[in-house]
Amino acid sequence: MAKSESSSLHIYNSLSRKKELFEPIKPPFVGLYVCGPTVYGDPHLGHARAAITFDVIYRYLQYLGYKVRYVRNITDVGHLEHEEEEHGEDKILKKARIEQVEPMEIVQRYTISYHKGMDALNCLRPDIEPTATGHIIEQIELVKKILENGFAYEVDGNVYFDLEKYRENNSYGELSGKVLEDLQAGSRDTEGMDEKKNPYDFALWKKASTGHIMRWDSPWGEGFPGWHMECTTMSTKYLGKKFDIHGGGLDLQFPHHEAEIAQCKSAYGNDPVKYWVHNNMITIDGAKMSKSAGNFINLEELFTGNHDKLEKAFNPMTVRFLMLQSHYRSKIDFSNEALVAAEKGLQKLMTAVDLLDMIELPDGSPENEASEDREILDACKQCQDSMNDDFNTAQVLAALFDLASKINAIHNKQLDAGKVSKSAFEKMKNTMNDFVFDILGLQPISESKDGKTEELVNLLIDIRSEARENKDFATSDKIRDDLQEIGIRLKDDKDGKTTFEIDG
């Protein structure tokens, strides 16, 4: 299956808390489901961490030759402000109320914003991106099935999952390691407690209160699905009742993913997922990111530098590179110093890739087994061995920098190119290109349409617009033609607005 004879892929399974050999249920097909964003605000670093983590996993599985179906949902209803206690307003509904617009306007605006941010980070789009509101009927059917199987009960239009009944023959809390009784003992929330058989029962369907806009007909009256229902519904619809990988942030283990397992077992009688994969969180200057602490940074602020904690704008590829420098199960601390260091590291790596294309081995170089081959081949093998060791991108980058040092030494004549065989050189070239671009998803900063490149091009567009207004068509045409020569094409629409595209 894999492109080399390197070690087999092992994945850390959050459920078993150990690395396991990756064996798909139905090879060569792999089902990958990832919890996507709740679209009520602009994408931030937390969204980027999850997206980059599973983008690399998606890319690597494809590199190994698997036929991957990647499903990532959009939550556009049912996610309440205080999800663990299940109270407060729907997050999207609250944003719509504050801005005095329809909830679906909020959904549309921030879905577009999310896509724009993830595209800038060079994250591949999923194969399927279902929405919660697009699967209300399926969610109602799943609630009905859980009720029919005796694991839920209805009270005045609300349907709750009966955890005590479930725990008669099933464990609950294995994924997160949380103990329900301990959690309830420390909770002060009492909303809905008079309706529930037990305080930790969670809602499968919520009755819509007066004035609640987002509501649908159901056998239990008008209401909306509980947050946990959507992922169970959509993952099993598109990937089957048992699929390979379910991913998401570490903060989703409880209650969201625990509830998914319970819902699936209650409806279908089996664990839904073979491998649970969770990425860790990020901090800003050592502190948890939060709006109240003033260190909440969304991606647009990061890319433009428009935030008090940022000294300058940072290219999306710098952000991606910084995240890849840590293993996905480790915390990442963002700071100006870390971003500047990542910027330099990315440039060093890209310079080595450019030099590699310029190097030609001298005539007479051996075809195989030259004196300098071993370290090169070891570093190439380390790249794939590291990815096979639970997608360890930090170790991959370390091996790529070892190769970069060899490339620089050959280019600077510190290493005799004649002592490198043609086969090892080709292996190094293929490894650099495969891992830097195809697997890690990095791009040269100069190819990105964001950051300083965009600022400079927009400045030239403004100058060109002024020239056209002044009928200075010679200057206008020169700016357009000169930009086109370096791969930047200007497009004028019928309203006189100019946009640009970067070739390649």
CB 271 within 8 A of CB 279: no
What contacts 191, CB < 8 A, 6 or more positions away? 85, 86, 87
* Parallel/antiparallel/unpaired status of strands 67-72 and 29-34: parallel
Dihedral of CA atoms 201, 202, 207, 208 in degrees, nearest 10, equals 140
Amino acid letter for position 431: T
Q: Is 35 annotated as a binding residue?
A: yes
Element spanning 501, H or E = strand 498-502
Q: What angle do CA 36, 38, 43 make, to 5 degrees?
A: 80
What φ, ψ does residue 408 adopt, rounded to 5°? -60, -40
CA-CA distances (angstroms) from residue 87 to 56, 83, 163? 35, 7, 19
Q: Is 84 annotated as a binding residue?
A: no
Rounded distance between C-alpha atoms, residue 50 and residue 250, angstroms: 10
Closest CA to 202 of 220, 186, 180, 222: 180
Element spanning 247, H or E = strand 243-249
Rounded distance between C-alpha atoms, residue 9 and residue 337, angstroms: 34
Q: Is 257 annotated as a binding residue?
A: no
Buried b / exposed e across 95-133, counting CB within 10 Å, b at 16+? bbeeeeeebbebbebbbebbbebbebbbbbebeebbbbb
Q: Which residues are annotated as a binding site?
A: 35, 231, 256, 260, 291
Q: Which residues are annotated as a binding site for ATP?
A: 291
Q: Which residues are annotated as a binding site for Zn(2+)?
A: 35, 231, 256, 260
